[in-house]
Chain A
Amino acid sequence: MENPIAVSGLIKAFGRTRALDELDLTVRAGEVHGFLGPNGAGKSTAIRVLLGLLRADAGAVRLLGGDPWRDAVALHRRLAYVPGDVTLWPNLTGGEVIDLLGRMRGGIDRARRDELLAAFELDPRKKGRAYSKGNRQKVGLVAALASDAELLILDEPTSGLDPLMEEVFQHWVGRARADGRTVLLSSHILGEVEALCDRVTIIRNGRAVETGTLTGLRHLQRTSVDAELAGPPHGLAELAGVHDLRVDGDRVRFDVDTPALDAALRRLTEIGVRGLVSRPPTLEELFLRHYESAGAAGAPAGVAR
């Protein structure tokens, strides 16, 4: 079966700036795929190409087995999209917008719609102009999640939601996955990505710099070690792959590359270990490493080996 989203070498330029610079993105059927990147990295541009709102300058883009520009209408019946800033018609109520969008997608599950309204605590009788930012997002989310679309494209969908509603959102995305739907989730909220996503793609300057499962990505990263030793930590600093070593009496803290972890632990046990805390890198650290090196032009900075 073909992947729901298969993008390779996608280029999109606005004037002289290249918003997407040979982007690759593959989303497999039935997975929740995290799409991460700093502001202006090209996430929304990529999504707009996938939605057929923008035309690709070059590269191959396949969406649900079709061409998102040429087959836009047929493909749109099979997907639901929530933008990061849902805007509503001021004189239509939330309930009317949910029904309208549902009907234009080719049907809405009434029971699920009511369940979602209750779960998100959304009053569907208010006019569009009367909703707060968070409630506008809820209208978009209910409309998308109540549809039977096989692909959900969510562009920072939870901006403006409170933590309680964030939890409701995660629950419903989980249900969507359990129903066998595919989700592309662009997000800034790392906890959300960590809780939901099977695989992630990190993009920077319009190019994918990292893609894979979270575990796989972690594997490429350094592990933090904090150990209390029986003696002075001789010979640790000389080991290849050990970074940022800090010694405080018998206590050492350092980061170590995954391939060098074994050697480092051996050295520690030779000295004698009284206490040990080791921690995989958080997604945040993984992220910051990519984001902060944004100045280093082009090449993915050091991590993707």
Chain B
Amino acid sequence: MTGARHLVRLILRRDRVLLPIWVLLIAVLPASYAETYAELYPTAAQRAEYAATTAGNPSIEALLGPAYGDSVGALAAQRSGLLHLIVGLISLLVVVRHTRAEEEAGRRELLGATVLGRYAGLAAALLVTYAADLLLGLLVAGGLVAAGLPAAGSLVFGLSVTLAGAFFATVGALAAQLTESAGGARGLGVAALGVAFLVRLAGDAGGAEWLSWLSPLGWAQRTHPYVGERWWPLALLAALAALVGAVAFRLSARRDLGAGVLPPRLGPATAGPALAGPWGLAWRLNRVALLGWTIGAAALGAVLGGAAEAAGDAVDGNETVARLMERLGGSASIAEAYLGTTLSITALAAAGYGIQAALRMRTEETGQRAEPVLTTGVSRSRWLLGHLAFALLGPAVMLAVAGAVTGLAYGLSSSDVAGKVPRLTGAALAHVPAVWVLVGVAVLLFGLLPRISVGAAWAALAGCLLLGQLGAVLELSQWLLDLSPFTHTPQVLGGPVPATPLLALTGTAVGLATAGLFTFRRRDLPA
């Protein structure tokens, strides 16, 4: 452990901006949910109705976890159900970032030659992450108490967030021992987290309690905040984290610096026939992401599509919710309005994927991997178009699959597969032009303002997200809402497909991307 103190200070110095931001951003969420519920449903009767309809709805329980009661606290705790997943993900990534990523970059070696114990690196990364998780948990609890909720429930919920984070931080530490690459470690860790989430989701969706008990994320939610708190699942999480941590430390002591427990695999000595130009290269660079996003979209579609019929039944009779859903989803049937809303959210995710694929050009450029390609017989246009193809077609494929799977699951539950699959696939594909506009913005930024392109492109997506989520609530003026391409996406579920807005959006996207291509062809590519 010698030297861990210095490493802790190094990590805090490197993360001095990032760490406080994510802790604070997440810490305010549960309390704000509590206040929203207290305002929206001030009486016990209103809350009881909400709990019986929406909160107890299988699709909501699948996504967020069960609601154990109808008090403001219990509802807020349910609404914060994704917090365990998010904090687990961040904690995992932070640990990998300060262990395996450092090792892969060779910086760990530099430090390893100084007076540093064998365990110091791993211990320091875990220590900082645990401390951040603990701080976050206490802030969450404090916020909930400040919102007027009982202390015991607030504390058990805050600590459940802490322990979910700490547990997956430890999983990250174990994954970091296994692979030689940080990317591989992240992949393993995120896969473990994904399995834990899906197991809990399946358990809560089907009411199979035993299945939810197989997932550490399920344990974190089975603390029953504000409804006769249970403390012992926290001990269970801590015990499993200790076990995983012990294995990670054992492995770290037995392996060489830079090596992983799993041997790196050798690849082909020659390139296959497909890897012959910018298209083949773009395919190799994008295929894993395409597969991952598409599988994720399909899984989400299956869960939400399967629950749509039940969601419709549950809300039937609740005039307010029905009107709200219709306004958001814009169609007659409640179930379809619900699906329209979820598809809008999937479309935002698809835009995120498209932007990521477009910005890969910037990472290739700054990583000096564009240069070797552009100094061969490949023109800048061909190189850009190879990447653009994936930025445009990838989200389209993802949305088509999401729509088809949603339609299939919805069709199976409402015995109308032949009707629902094309209907929802079409509804999903109607979002594609708006997604393309954001991809076009990213390409133009890459050509015109490469230095700020990454931040600005994500800011554009965040802007659209905020306009879409808050626009109606805050009653923003129409010209502001019109800035988001998603405002112009027609709701085609249960209605005719108007071609004009779709063509206009596609034209805008083509114009933006073309401008991006021209500016990129004319600019310098500095080292």
By a CB distance below 8 angstroms, the chain A residues around B368 are 83, 85, 87
By a CB distance below 8 angstroms, the chain B residues around A92 are 267, 275, 284
* CB atoms of B377 and A77 under 8 A apart: yes
Interface digits, B330-369 against A, CB 8 Å rule (1 contact, 0 not)? 0000000000000000000000000000000000000111
In the assembled complex, the Cα of A97 lies from the Cα of B269 at a distance in Å of 10
Answer whether A95 and B271 are a contact pair too, CB < 8 Å, given A101-B372, A130-B180. Answer: yes
In the assembled complex, the Cα of A96 lies from the Cα of B269 at a distance in Å of 7
In the assembled complex, the Cα of A99 lies from the Cα of B374 at a distance in Å of 15
B84 to chain A, nearest CB (A): 31
B317 on the interface (CB 8 Å rule)?
Answer: no
Q: Which of A104, A125, A140 contacts B378 (CB 8 A)?
A: A104
A73 on the interface (CB 8 Å rule)?
Answer: yes
* CB atoms of A104 and B377 under 8 A apart: yes
- Comparing A48-56, A173-181, A195-203, A268-276, the segment that makes contact with chain B is A48-56
B114 on the interface (CB 8 Å rule)?
Answer: no
Q: Which of B268, B367, B375 contacts A87 (CB 8 A)?
A: B367
* CB atoms of A129 and B372 under 8 A apart: no
* CB atoms of B180 and A53 under 8 A apart: no
By a CB distance below 8 angstroms, the chain B residues around A86 are 372
Q: Which of B266, B267, B270, B374 contacts A53 (CB 8 A)?
A: B374
* CB atoms of A72 and B379 under 8 A apart: yes
B253 on the interface (CB 8 Å rule)?
Answer: no
By a CB distance below 8 angstroms, the chain B residues around A127 are 264-267
A91 on the interface (CB 8 Å rule)?
Answer: yes
In the assembled complex, the Cα of A99 lies from the Cα of B180 at a distance in Å of 25
* CB atoms of A93 and B268 under 8 A apart: yes
By a CB distance below 8 angstroms, the chain B residues around A48 are 525-527
B39 on the interface (CB 8 Å rule)?
Answer: no
* CB atoms of B268 and A53 under 8 A apart: no
Answer whether A54 and B525 are a contact pair too, CB < 8 Å, given A73-B378, A87-B369, A100-B280. Answer: yes
Interface size, chain A (Cβ < 8 Å)? 44
B407 to chain A, nearest CB (A): 34
In the assembled complex, the Cα of A104 lies from the Cα of B275 at a distance in Å of 10
In the assembled complex, the Cα of A127 lies from the Cα of B181 at a distance in Å of 11
In the assembled complex, the Cα of A48 lies from the Cα of B527 at a distance in Å of 8
* CB atoms of B277 and A125 under 8 A apart: no
Answer whether A105 and B266 are a contact pair too, CB < 8 Å, given A83-B371, A100-B280, A129-B181. Answer: no
* CB atoms of A104 and B270 under 8 A apart: no
* CB atoms of A101 and B376 under 8 A apart: yes
* CB atoms of B267 and A96 under 8 A apart: yes
B281 on the interface (CB 8 Å rule)?
Answer: yes
A124 on the interface (CB 8 Å rule)?
Answer: yes
By a CB distance below 8 angstroms, the chain A residues around B525 are 48, 53-54
* CB atoms of A106 and B372 under 8 A apart: no
Interface digits, B159-183 against A, CB 8 Å rule (1 contact, 0 not)? 0000000000000000000001101
* CB atoms of A76 and B266 under 8 A apart: no
In the assembled complex, the Cα of A44 lies from the Cα of B271 at a distance in Å of 30
* CB atoms of B369 and A104 under 8 A apart: no
In the assembled complex, the Cα of A242 lies from the Cα of B462 at a distance in Å of 74
A289 on the interface (CB 8 Å rule)?
Answer: no
Q: Which of B288, B367, B376, B526 contacts A54 (CB 8 A)?
A: B526
A60 on the interface (CB 8 Å rule)?
Answer: no
A19 to chain B, nearest CB (A): 10
In the assembled complex, the Cα of A87 lies from the Cα of B275 at a distance in Å of 18
Answer whether A126 and B376 are a contact pair too, CB < 8 Å, given A100-B280, A103-B276. Answer: no
In the assembled complex, the Cα of A130 lies from the Cα of B183 at a distance in Å of 13
Answer whether A55 and B524 are a contact pair too, CB < 8 Å, given A96-B267, A125-B269, A129-B181. Answer: yes
In the assembled complex, the Cα of A97 lies from the Cα of B525 at a distance in Å of 21
By a CB distance below 8 angstroms, the chain B residues around A103 are 271, 275-277
Answer whether A76 and B372 are a contact pair too, CB < 8 Å, given A14-B526, A100-B281. Answer: no
By a CB distance below 8 angstroms, the chain B residues around A55 are 522, 524
In the assembled complex, the Cα of A86 lies from the Cα of B367 at a distance in Å of 10
By a CB distance below 8 angstroms, the chain B residues around A95 are 267-271
Residue of B nearest to A91 (CB): B284
A90 on the interface (CB 8 Å rule)?
Answer: yes
By a CB distance below 8 angstroms, the chain B residues around A106 are 377
Answer whether A100 and B276 are a contact pair too, CB < 8 Å, given A89-B284, A124-B270. Answer: yes
In the assembled complex, the Cα of A125 lies from the Cα of B272 at a distance in Å of 13
Residue of A nearest to B367 (CB): A87
B135 on the interface (CB 8 Å rule)?
Answer: no
A225 to chain B, nearest CB (A): 45
* CB atoms of A125 and B267 under 8 A apart: yes
Residue of B nearest to A132 (CB): B106
A261 on the interface (CB 8 Å rule)?
Answer: no
Interface digits, B367-409 against A, CB 8 Å rule (1 contact, 0 not)? 1110111111111100000000000000000000000000000
Interface digits, A19-48 against B, CB 8 Å rule (1 contact, 0 not)? 000000000000000000000000010001
By a CB distance below 8 angstroms, the chain A residues around B372 are 81, 83, 86, 101, 140
A94 to chain B, nearest CB (A): 8
Answer whether A104 and B277 are a contact pair too, CB < 8 Å, given A73-B377, A73-B378, A76-B375. Answer: yes
A283 on the interface (CB 8 Å rule)?
Answer: no
Q: Which of B276, B369, B379, B380 contacts A89 (CB 8 A)?
A: B369
Q: Which of B284, B285, B376 contacts A104 (CB 8 A)?
A: B376
* CB atoms of B285 and A89 under 8 A apart: yes
Residue of B nearest to A81 (CB): B375
By a CB distance below 8 angstroms, the chain B residues around A125 are 266-269
B289 to chain A, nearest CB (A): 11
B286 to chain A, nearest CB (A): 11
* CB atoms of A124 and B524 under 8 A apart: no
Q: Which of A14, A77, A126, A140 contacts B267 (CB 8 A)?
A: A126
Residue of B nearest to A73 (CB): B379
Q: Residue among A83, A85, A100 with the most chain B CB within 10 A?
A: A100
A165 on the interface (CB 8 Å rule)?
Answer: no
A11 to chain B, nearest CB (A): 14
In the assembled complex, the Cα of A95 lies from the Cα of B374 at a distance in Å of 19
Per the 8 Å Cβ criterion, residues 293-347 of B in contact with A are none
B104 on the interface (CB 8 Å rule)?
Answer: yes
B278 to chain A, nearest CB (A): 8
* CB atoms of A96 and B275 under 8 A apart: yes
By a CB distance below 8 angstroms, the chain B residues around A96 are 267-268, 270-272, 275
Answer whether A93 and B379 are a contact pair too, CB < 8 Å, given A83-B371, A83-B372, A104-B277. Answer: no
Instruction: Give 6 closest A-B pairs by Cβ, nearest first.
Output: A99-B271, A93-B267, A104-B376, A125-B266, A77-B377, A95-B269
User: Can you list 18 contacts pairing A with B, beta carbon distance less than 8 Å?
Assistant: A14-B526, A48-B525, A52-B375, A54-B526, A55-B522, A76-B378, A83-B371, A86-B372, A88-B369, A89-B369, A92-B284, A95-B267, A100-B275, A100-B276, A126-B267, A129-B181, A130-B180, A140-B372
6 additional A-B pairs beyond A54-B526, A123-B266, A130-B264, beta carbons within 8 Å, are A83-B371, A85-B368, A90-B183, A100-B271, A103-B277, A104-B376
